[in-house]
Amino acid sequence: MCVFSSPSFDHHELVTFAEHQDSGLRAIIAVHNSNLGPGVGGCRMFPYASDVDALEDVLRLSRGMTYKSALAGLPMGGGKAVIIGDHRKHKTPALLEAMGDFIDAQGGKYVTAEDSGTSVADMKVIGQRTSYVSGVDERQSFGGDPSPFTAQGIFYGIKAALQHKVASDELRGVRVALQGAGAVGRYLAKQLLAEGALVFVADINEENLNQVVAMGAQQIGVDEVLSYDADVLAPCAMGAILNDDTIPHLKAKVIAGGANNQLAESRHGDDLRELGILYAPDFVINAGGIIEIHHQRAGSAEKSSDHVARIGTTLSEIFEASEQQGKSTLAVAEQLAEDKFRSPALLYGAAYSVSNNA
Ligand code: NAD
């Protein structure tokens, strides 16, 4: 396994590996860029098929966090951690404590939070060994879980996309195809239904699916959700679902959802534009959770809601610029983010300036 020749390596500042034999921990931490602050991002636990898959994932996800935080206007860089293993079988207090020690050893260059396969409860165990952890503040609503804030940002993003596409952000009667009824999908469905939208939901997990159906959504098949006859497609499950196979079959004219890395490749952003499909770049629309995490750490929780609402404004600007410049929304959003985190004036100055106040 070679880091530098990995297709997902993008001049990451730090990539570090840990093995702890007693607990069985095998993990990787990556910090992509810390010009704007420490690398903040979730700790994912997944039974990767190979070490290479785990490395690719942590490199790709930490890069995405740099772009997400920069565009959300946060004093944070991009980081991510992956633990190799099945969270249902291999997650033990000893493993999480060893992960806490591994994070602590980075001295604040990386700050963790919950992610797929880890929970708020796990962050509390990790937090016994390091203070470089977020998403554990029980004084916050939802006990530190960022998902409701992520869903809130997506909700604003859907409204901004509708406003741009059809000159109205009214949700009554709007048909939304929702892929994934997990933490984010569930909160999003609740808000959409409350505003009179028609939600068509698909999930491979029956329990999650049933919860959203019980709210008033209609169940559709996992094989039909991406090409469902809807106004909006909200991908809230997994990445790379917008690709050469799926794009020709899309019917929705707006794609706005929370899943990370929805485009299989950057060029698919151009394909969507050519088809007249308005794509809300994932790292912009799903930043609500990281915005909340920032305000938890900074002790400014009262500012979180307004900040999340600005996701809609940022997206509107990106949609406008995309039209004016004749570029995909992805290209515009990436350029805006790079202008922020690559600015030489910020080099070194802001690094590590977020105090360790968890
Ligand atoms: P989750 O694990 O709670 O929910 C994901 C749901 O997708 C599950 O119910 C799962 O069964 C379902 N799913 C998996 N494969 C599917 C398929 N093929 N078809 C239909 N459904 C499928 O995760 P979450 O926290 O809701 O996050 C959803 C997405 O949003 C992920 O891509 C995550 O990385 C991203 N995201 C989440 C947050 C957050 O705050 N939780 C923040 C930013 C981005």
Is the minimum distance from the CB of 184 to ligand 1 under 6 angstroms?
A: yes
* DSSP character at residue 199: E
Q: Are 247 and 272 in contact (CB under 8 A)?
A: yes
Distance from the alpha carbon of residue 351 to the mean position of ligand 1, in angstroms: 31
Instruction: Look at residue 295 and tell me if it is in a domain.
Output: no
- Strand, coil or helix: 217: coil
Domain shared by 122 and 153, yes or no: no
Closest atom of ligand 1 to 116 CA is 2
Question: Distance between CA 301 and CA 305 in Å, rounded?
Answer: 8
Angle at Cα 164 formed by Cα 160 and Cα 168, nearest 5°? 80
Instruction: Look at residue 210 and tell me if it is in a domain.
Output: yes
Is the minimum distance from the CB of 130 to ligand 1 under 6 angstroms?
A: no
Is the minimum distance from the CB of 259 to ligand 1 under 6 angstroms?
A: yes
What pLDDT score does 145 carry? Answer: 79
Distance from the alpha carbon of residue 259 to the mean position of ligand 1, in angstroms: 6
Closest atom of ligand 1 to 186 CA is 26
Q: How far is CA 126 from the centre of its chain?
A: 21
Q: Are 69 and 290 in contact (CB under 8 A)?
A: yes
Residue nearest to atom 43 of ligand 1 (CA): 286
Is the minimum distance from the CB of 258 to ligand 1 under 6 angstroms?
A: yes
Domain shared by 331 and 188, yes or no: yes
How many domains, the chain?
2
- Strand, coil or helix: 194: helix
Domain shared by 226 and 330, yes or no: yes
Residue range of the domain that includes 171: 147-288+316-339
Q: Given the residues 68, 80, 190, 340, select the one marked as catalytic.
A: 80
Q: Which two tokens stand for residue 357?
A: 């106040």
CATH code, domain with 202:
3.40.50.720
Is the minimum distance from the CB of 152 to ligand 1 under 6 angstroms?
A: no
Question: Distance between CA 31 and CA 268 in Å, rounded?
Answer: 26
Q: Which two tokens stand for residue 146?
A: 């960022």
Is the minimum distance from the CB of 292 to ligand 1 under 6 angstroms?
A: no
Place of tokens 């028609």: 198
Q: Which region, left, alpha or beta, applies to residue 322 given φ > 0 means left and ψ of -120 to 50 means alpha?
A: alpha
Instruction: Look at residue 164 and tell me if it is in a domain.
Output: yes
What pLDDT score does 134 carry? Answer: 84
Instruction: Look at residue 9 and tell me if it is in a domain.
Output: no
Q: Are 275 and 25 in contact (CB under 8 A)?
A: no
Torsion 325-328-331-335 (CA) sign: positive
What pLDDT score does 298 carry? Answer: 87
Question: Distance between CA 235 and CA 211 in Å, rounded?
Answer: 18
What pLDDT score does 144 carry? Answer: 66
Question: Distance between CA 83 and CA 341 in Å, rounded?
Answer: 27
Distance from the alpha carbon of residue 180 to the mean position of ligand 1, in angstroms: 6
Active site residue 80: yes
Q: Are 204 and 225 in contact (CB under 8 A)?
A: no
Closest atom of ligand 1 to 237 CA is 7
Question: Distance between CA 121 and CA 110 in Å, rounded?
Answer: 19
pTM as predicted: 0.91
Closest CA to 28 of 107, 87, 86, 110: 110
Residue nearest to atom 27 of ligand 1 (CA): 184
Domain shared by 119 and 154, yes or no: no
Q: Are 22 and 80 in contact (CB under 8 A)?
A: no
What pLDDT score does 136 carry? Answer: 65
From first to last of its 358 residues, the chain has per-residue pLDDT tens of 689 999 999 999 999 999 999 999 999 999 999 999 999 999 999 999 999 999 999 999 999 999 999 999 999 999 999 999 999 999 999 999 999 999 999 999 999 998 889 998 999 999 999 999 986 655 454 456 789 999 999 999 999 999 999 999 999 999 999 999 999 999 999 999 999 999 999 999 999 999 999 999 999 999 999 999 999 999 999 889 999 999 999 999 999 999 999 999 999 999 999 999 999 999 999 999 999 989 988 889 899 999 999 999 999 999 999 999 999 999 999 999 999 999 744 444 333 333 333 3
Distance from the alpha carbon of residue 313 to the mean position of ligand 1, in angstroms: 25
- Strand, coil or helix: 91: coil
Instruction: Look at residue 345 and tell me if it is in a domain.
Output: no
Domain shared by 39 and 106, yes or no: yes
